[in-house]
Amino acid sequence: MADSPIEYLPLHNQVSVVTGSSRGMGAAIARRLAIMGAAVVITARHAEGLSATAQSIRENGGQCEAVPCDVTNLAQVEAVGRAVEKKFGRIDILVNNAGIGSMGRKLWEFPPDEWERVMSTNLRGPYYLIRTFAPMMIRANSGHIINISSLAGKNPLPNGAAYSASKWGLNGLTLSVAEELRSHNVRVSLVSPGSTATDFGDHSAKNESKMLSADDIANVVAMLVTQSANSFVSEVNIRPTQKP
């Protein structure tokens, strides 16, 4: 009898966690990892969107667990960690995708509470997730963490200084913790997309047909998690072919 085709899925028996999975890039990444055979744990603050993502994955034969979680809340993040360890006993892939933007104001007009919200989601959140899941990867001597940043973390962004600063910070965090985890056989990669046609931000001044799609970002994640064991793509910048 021929072996089951599932045995040839590249991520069969692996477990992934994807934050910010209720829509956009997070949902696309979660669907791609599930298609590739991984059991996917998806998290987001919005339970309705999270349920829709989970349903679409299951309808296509994927394994998915949906866990509402605010990445700025350490207790909620740690609860996700305990749930993953109890059900699966491992974590192979962590994608820190959850993020928010707040554009359109000069820095000196930017409210302090909004600054805190942006920094907490875009920078503190990934720290909480890595703090929770890296020890499980270290014990297994295996794993891959992918942080979704932005080209705004490499270039000036007038009227978006807080968002840009949070992504510059995420870049530094990613590249630094990558060095801390390399000796444990855990890879940490940075993905920095340019203009992407999701409902994140205002694209009214751009031609969406020329923008990246959420699936373009999912393609990059799929490439990263299927590298050979002796290779490590630490950083990917992805731009639209034509400026939108």
User: What pLDDT, in 10s, does the model give residues 113-154?
Assistant: 999 999 999 999 999 999 999 999 999 999 999 999 999 999
Q: Which helix (H) or strand (E) holds 44?
A: strand 39-44
Per-residue pLDDT of 212-237, as tens digits, reads 999 999 999 999 999 998 999 999 99
241 — pLDDT class (breaks 50, 70, 90)? confident
> Under DSSP, is residue 202 helix (H, G, I), strand (E, B) or coil?
coil
Residue 163 among the catalytic residues: yes
Ranges of each domain in the chain: 13-238
- Summarize pLDDT for 26-82 with one digit per residue, the tens: 999 999 999 999 999 999 998 899 999 999 999 999 999 999 999 999 999 999 999
Per-residue model confidence (pLDDT) at position 93: 98
**Structure-block tokens of residue 4:** 């089951």
Quick one: pLDDT at residue 63?
96
Half-sphere exposure of 213 (CA within 13 A, CB side): 5
Confidence band, pLDDT 50/70/90 cuts, at residue 9: confident
Average pLDDT of the chain is: 92
Q: What is the mean pLDDT of residues 2-25?
A: 83
- Residue 230 three-state SS: coil
CA 157/CA 107 separation, integer angstroms:
11
Helices 24-35 and 47-59, interaxial angle, to 10°?
30
Spacing of C-alpha 240 from chain mean position: 20
pLDDT at 5 over 80: no
Residue 138's pLDDT is 98
Q: Which CATH superfamily is domain 13-238 in?
A: NAD(P)-binding Rossmann-like Domain (3.40.50.720)
pLDDT for position 243: 80
